[in-house]
Amino acid sequence: MTSGSQINFTLHTRPITHVQYNYDGDLIFACSLDSIISLWDTEGNLKGTYNGHQGAVTCMDQTEEDLLTGSGDRSVILWDITTGKQKLSMSFKSTVKSVNINDNDLLICCDDSYNNKPALNYYDVRSNSLIFSLNLDYIITSSVLKKQFCIFADTEGNLKKFDFRKNETVHNSKIHNSKINEIKPSPCSKYYVSSSNDATTKIFDSDLKEIKMFQSTEPVNSSSIFSENNILVNVGGIPARDVTLTRGKRKFDVNFYDIVKEERVGFYSTHFGTINTVDVARDGRSFASGGEDGIVIMVNLGDEFYSAPFTQI
């Protein structure tokens, strides 16, 4: 029987905004407010960095070959993962809050900074052209891109589904009572998970119908579903500015929930301060998280984790 182990990845000088495993689960990408994107192997070795943004890196997405990143410097860069070279660089009018890549299609969502309207931009790499750009009356915080539609979340707790065939919003759902910080597809791609400042995590389907709800004690910044759809992990905490101004908690947990029972069944205490992002390896044997402390932490889940009484689906 193997026990769990923890590896700390230390490079970044400012808070981590996102972590993602690659498709094979042997590499981890991390982006930060320090403008750097780092690439690590699961032994804790730094494989390289992607340097090109001049401001905080706010979001990223990937395919097996390409990495797409967005920044507070109002730019989006498409990287060749293997060579680290830039394949494409674009500038927009305001801060990029969310990016998605699906084959040759790019979705870029920008906020209302620099006195601009929030915007949704759809780009085709093959034709090297912007297919359309829509001005919005709400700010998108996170998005998911599929072949025929996209789903995005906003600062008011709403989810919207945009159909590319009809070129219009076909579903609109008020699923949270406060800002949604992240939405993410499940490994099977049939479901999605949302994380909100209202201290809940929810699982919903492609019609934005709520399926499961998980209650937390703190705002939730990020969540992931294990590949067998039986375990959910989430992270969060009080914003850093509130921690320093109050006598609130300074240490937050990585929480695990039984999806069937909708109950919290365990936790890991890893970071000091708010945890901003979490991702689970596709084989379910480890998770990676990043926080306000600027550290990426990977935990190899030991056999005792898998002997825990999670409900099997």
Q: Can you tell me the mean pLDDT for 213-223? A: 97
Is residue 247 very low, low, confident or very high in pLDDT (cuts 50, 70, 90)?
A: very low
The pLDDT value given to residue 38: 98
The pLDDT value given to residue 294: 96
CB-based contacts of 12, cutoff 8 Å, min separation 6:
30, 32, 34, 36, 38, 294, 295, 296
Contact 262, 212 (CB under 8 A): yes
Contact 313, 228 (CB under 8 A): yes
Residue 1 has pLDDT above 50, yes or no: no
The pLDDT value given to residue 250: 65
Q: Can you tell me the mean pLDDT for 110-128? A: 95
Residue 118 has pLDDT above 80, yes or no: yes
Distance CA 188, CA 277 (A): 20
Distance CA 68, CA 7 (A): 26
pLDDT higher at 313 or 157:
157
The pLDDT value given to residue 246: 43
Per-residue pLDDT reduced to its tens digit, 70-85: 999 999 999 999 999 9
pLDDT higher at 123 or 251:
123
Q: Can you tell me the mean pLDDT for 238-242? A: 59
Distance CA 276, CA 165 (A): 34
User: What percentage of residues in the chain have a pLDDT greater than 70?
Assistant: 95
Give the angle subtended at the CA of 62 by the CAs of 267 and 283, to the nearest 5°: 45
Q: Can you tell me the mean pLDDT for 278-296? A: 96
Tokens representing residue 93 in the block: 């009018």
- Which residue's entry shows tokens 């680290």? 84
Give the angle subtended at the CA of 84 by the CAs of 101 and 288, to the nearest 5°: 65
Q: What is the mean pLDDT of the chain?
A: 93
Residue 93 has pLDDT above 90, yes or no: yes
Is residue 99 very low, low, confident or very high in pLDDT (cuts 50, 70, 90)?
A: very high
Per-residue pLDDT reduced to its tens digit, 32-79: 999 999 999 999 999 999 999 999 999 999 999 999 999 999 999 999
Distances (CA, A) of 61 to 97, 159, 240: 12, 20, 25
The pLDDT value given to residue 302: 85
The pLDDT value given to residue 67: 98
All domains of the chain, ordered by start, with CATH?
A: 5-307 (2.130.10.10)
Per-residue pLDDT reduced to its tens digit, 160-214: 999 999 989 999 999 999 999 999 999 998 999 999 999 999 999 999 999 999 9
Tokens representing residue 308 in the block: 């825990």
Residue 156 has pLDDT above 70, yes or no: yes
